[in-house]
């Protein structure tokens, strides 16, 4: 018996590359988080927007708390063991009736983290369903190697390079419908994507991308890791720290450093670069 997941759930993750839904908090608690986010967006628009969406857990208490939520960490521990760190995070907010989508991709393609055994919890703060553009996964695709991705830089594609895999077996896709306060967890190599938000409400998801077991290494850039549980040693590791207050000077500084490192890694050899 694991800390949170059953043996069946762990086995399901091994076979399909994802697990969903998992309860993290109540709908009311998720709603309170969404309200806190709105207040932060209003107070600090330059620090939280579609072009500054990466690694908010390094600078804001709200995202730091979500990144350390015991139920998130217990589920992660059941999948990758008791010693792990967080590589990064992304706030994926899709506005009501907006055209933005995420093409079919595998997270591990450009991330530079090796080996490919890290996992991404995605926490819904608002309803994530077919109408609002939930994530869809291709079961078992994590068992194959990395597929060819074509950089499209398509305007409405919210991935950094608009990278896309073609000839995906879309008929096998599974939609991950989540209530506010629930999460999914996906493997870094599973093929996934999401459609535009056609609903009248925001679809807000916070992706912890990802938790990696001790010994994992960033092979394309600086090894900036936030230790989370156990003894998460990584080769050439620089330890990041949790923010003491929203946007204190140290927090701003370490988020800026992590975001620059990400940009250098994710846009390596790309023909152009976007603001995020």
Rule CB under 6 A: is residue 165 a binding residue for ligand AKG?
no
Find the binder of ligand AKG among 112, 127, 205, 227 (CB under 6 A): 205
Residue 120 within binding range of ligand AKG, rule CB under 6 A: yes
Q: Angle CA(212)–CA(157)–CA(205) in degrees, nearest 5?
A: 50
Using CA atoms, how far apart are residues 132 and 97, in angstroms rounded to an integer? Answer: 8
Q: The tokens 């991709």 sit on which residue?
A: 105
According to DSSP, residue 62 is labeled H
Crossing angle between the packed helical segments 7-16 and 70-80, to the nearest 10 degrees? 70
Question: What contacts 14, CB < 8 A, 6 or more positions away?
Answer: none
Indicate the residue among 237 and 258 with the shorter CB distance to ligand AKG: 258
Indicate whether 135 belongs to the interface with ligand AKG (CB under 6 A). yes
Asked whether position 190 contacts ligand AKG by CB under 6 A, the answer is no
Which residue of 124, 207, 228, 265 would you call a contact of ligand AKG, by CB under 6 A?
207
Measured from the CB atom, the residue of 62 and 237 that comes closer to ligand AKG is 62
Choose the stretch contacting ligand AKG; rule: CB under 6 A; options: 11-19, 79-87, 201-209, 257-265.
201-209
By CB under 6 A, how many residues form the interface with ligand AKG? 11
First to last CA, the chain: 41
Other C-beta atoms lying within 10 Å of the C-beta of residue 244 = 10
Q: Candidates 44-52, 145-153, 203-211, 252-260 — which segment interacts with ligand AKG by CB under 6 A?
A: 203-211
Site for ligand AKG in 42-101 (CB under 6 A): 92
How many CB atoms within 10 Å of residue 249?
8
Chain contacts with ligand AKG (rule: CB under 6 A): 92, 102, 107, 120, 122, 135, 192, 194, 205, 207, 209
């Amino acid at each position: 018996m694991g800390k949170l997941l059953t043996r069946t759930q762990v086995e399901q993750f091994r076979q399909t590359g994802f697990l969903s839904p998992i309860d993290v908090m109540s709908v009311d608690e998720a709603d309170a988080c969404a309200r806190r986010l709105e207040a932060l967006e209003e107070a600090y628009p330059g620090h939280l927007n579609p072009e500054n969406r990466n690694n908010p857990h390094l600078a804001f208490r709200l995202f730091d708390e979500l990144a350390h939520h015991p139920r998130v960490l217990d589920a992660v521990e059941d999948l990758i063991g008791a010693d792990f760190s967080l590589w990064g995070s992304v706030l994926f907010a899709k506005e009501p009736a907006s055209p933005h989508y995420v093409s079919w991709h595998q997270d591990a393609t450009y991330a530079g983290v090796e080996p490919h055994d890290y996992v991404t919890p995605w926490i819904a703060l608002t309803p994530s369903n077919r109408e609002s553009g939930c994530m869809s996964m291709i079961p078992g695709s994590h068992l194959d190697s990395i597929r060819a991705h074509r950089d499209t830089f398509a305007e409405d594609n919210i991935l950094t390079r608009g990278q896309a895999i073609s000839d995906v077996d879309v008929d096998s896709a599974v939609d991950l419908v989540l209530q506010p306060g629930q999460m999914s967890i996906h493997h870094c190599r599973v093929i996934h994507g999401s459609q535009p938000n056609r609903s009248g409400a925001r679809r807000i998801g916070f992706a912890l991308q990802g938790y990696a077991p001790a010994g994992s290494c960033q092979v394309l850039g600086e090894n900036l890791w936030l230790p989370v549980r156990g003894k998460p040693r990584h080769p050439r590791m620089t330890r990041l720290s949790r923010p003491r207050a929203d946007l204190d000077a140290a927090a701003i500084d370490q988020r800026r450093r992590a975001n620059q490192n990400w940009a250098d890694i994710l846009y390596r050899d790309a023909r152009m670069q976007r603001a995020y």
